[in-house]
Amino acid sequence: MILVCGGIKGGVGKTTLATNMAILRSAAGRDVLLVDADDQATASDFTAVRNETLQGNAGYTSIKLHGANVRSEVMRMVGKYDDVVIDVGGRDTAGQRAALSVADVYVVPFLPGSFDVWTLDSVGELVEEARAFNDKLKAVCVINRADSIGSDNAEAAAIALEIPNLTYIDAPMGNRKAFRSAAAQGLAVTEMKRPDKKAVEELEKLYKYLFDA
Ligand SMILES: Nc1ncnc2c1ncn2[C@@H]1O[C@H](COP(=O)(O)OP(=O)(O)OP(=O)(O)O)[C@@H](O)[C@H]1O
Ligand SMILES: [Mg+2]
Are the CB atoms for 53 and 187 separated by under 8 Å? Answer: yes
Check residue 98 and report its DSSP letter: H
pTM for this model (two decimals): 0.98
Residue boundaries of the structural domains of the chain: 2-211
Q: Output the ligand 1 site: residues, CB below 6 A.
A: 10-16, 38, 40, 42, 89-90, 144-145, 173, 175-176, 179-180, 183
Cα(50) to centroid(ligand 1), Å:
17
> Tens digits of per-residue pLDDT, 66-107?
999 999 999 999 999 999 999 999 999 999 999 999 999 999
CA distances from 61 to 19, 24, 31 (A): 11, 14, 8
> Tens digits of per-residue pLDDT, 159-179?
999 999 999 999 999 999 999
115 Cβ partners below 8 Å, 6+ apart? Answer: none
Residue of the CA atom closest to atom 11 of ligand 1: 180
Could you tell me how far CA 77 lies from the centroid of its own chain?
Answer: 19
Question: Which CATH number is associated with domain 2-211?
Answer: 3.40.50.300
Residue of the CA atom closest to atom 9 of ligand 1: 13
